[in-house]
Amino acid sequence: MEPVSADAVKARLATQAIETPSWAYGNSGTRFKVFAQQGVPRTVEEKIDDAAQVHAFTGVAPSVALHIPWDTVEDYGKLADYAASAGIRLGTVNSNVFQDDDYRLGSVTNPDPRIRRKAVAHLLDCVDVLDATGSRDLKLWFSDGTNYPGQDDIRARQDRLAEALATVYTRLGDDQRMLLEYKLFEPAFYTMDVPDWGTSYAHCLELGPKARVCVDTGHHAPGTNIEFIVAFLLRAGKLGAFDFNSRFYADDDLMVGAADPFQLFRILHEVVRGGGYEPSAGVAFMLDQCHNIEPKIPGQIRSVCNVQEATAKALLVDTAALAGAQRSGDVIAANDVLMDAYHTDVRPMLAELRAERGLDPDPLAAYRRSGYAERIVAERIGGSQAGWGA
């Protein structure tokens, strides 16, 4: 096979941008226990500082996603300036309509119209935040659903969902987008109101071009072929974003690439194949993870590097050889072309790329040597640590 040139791959990798989420820097846990870690941020500014570290060492994490109301501030312009001075920008705005006692039976799909209005009002507030920060994307994830058969009317909840989405869509500016996430289960166990890509896709289609599907890699039923969904949505022009993480069983929110690095590679292969890696495709690449037992910043650095490695391998695929083997129906040869790229150890190439860009070839080791971890443990004393809902 004709090898893809390392320089060409490095050139394409140089444009990569992976957004990290502000909430990954705070404490998180399971329903059984949130283990507190020392040095976690107490303010949104401290979250931005941590996100900036990830970018400083990897060079490919130039923005941080916000979660409203966790990251609510008076003045978002000032916050954007703060981020800029730290070397990154504010990214996607995530709404939160799941942490209020009112939302026990749902937010935008709640049978109670008062609660639906409250939820929609929050979503509209989030569009205000978009205006203020200049962010492009509003990401919507709904915990809405039911736990018991009969608890509520499945179809009526779709009507309510459609109405809420339409209201928010109408409010979007010309350059703003809505990303609709889906999830099979949790926190609702019998039905989720947006359980799968089909539901999200159908609503986005009805809403219009500014609505797109967000694929969270941990939100599928066992056995689901995620890269098929990615390929399908790219073909339909409806893939808006990724929430990357990895899972062995459910929505484990582990470091992306930790559970099934080959799956991550296959996903990125379809992204590249379908044009989704081109900036013009408008696909946002984000992490959405919980570092329950490992340190937060190293967890994000490792995850960013894992995405970068999988991307490098995807870019190494010899597409001409692949297409040839596929056309001729040579099953093993076609599989071999793909595996050849996957088996390649791309770490030396990435080390080179970093060196060329003035970065340390080993981001995690460099971060560890930097003293930042010790500094935040020493300095972030008092106040309340940021966690989910903090």
Residue 337 engages a copy of itself in binding (rule: CB under 8 A): yes
* Minimum gap (Å) between residue 141 Cβ and a copy of itself: 10
| Cβ-based nearer residue to a copy of itself, 125 or 196 | 196
How far apart CA 257 and CA 264 sit, in angstroms, is: 6
Residues 49-68 that bind a copy of itself (CB under 8 A): none
Q: Near a copy of itself by CB under 8 A, which window of 60-68, 81-89, 119-127, 223-231?
A: 223-231
Name which position in 45, 125, 252, 352 contacts a copy of itself (CB under 8 A). 252
Residues 94-133 that bind a copy of itself (CB under 8 A): 98-99, 101, 103-105, 111-112
Q: Specify the DSSP element, H or E, that contains 115.
A: helix 113-133
Residue 361 engages a copy of itself in binding (rule: CB under 8 A): no
Bridge partners (DSSP) of residue 90 are 64
Residue 30 engages a copy of itself in binding (rule: CB under 8 A): yes
E strands, the chain, are: 20-21, 63-67, 89-94, 137-140, 145-146, 177-181, 191-192, 211-216, 239-244, 284-287
How far apart CA 300 and CA 64 sit, in angstroms, is: 12
Residue 370 engages a copy of itself in binding (rule: CB under 8 A): no
The 10 Å Cβ neighbour count of residue 313 is 26
User: Which residues, other chains included, contact 44 with Cβ-Cβ below 8 Å and sequence gap of 6+?
Assistant: 22, 66, 70, 71, 73, 79
286 vs 87, 134, 215, 247, 256, CA distance in Å?
18, 18, 10, 16, 11
* Minimum gap (Å) between residue 23 Cβ and a copy of itself: 12
- Site residue total, a copy of itself (CB under 8 A): 104
* Minimum gap (Å) between residue 13 Cβ and a copy of itself: 17
Residue 163 engages a copy of itself in binding (rule: CB under 8 A): no
Length of the chain in residues, anyone?
A: 390
Residue 343 engages a copy of itself in binding (rule: CB under 8 A): yes
Binding-residue pattern over the window 269 to 288 for a copy of itself, x denoting contact by CB under 8 A: xx--xx--------------
Name which position in 43, 72, 167, 199 contacts a copy of itself (CB under 8 A). 199
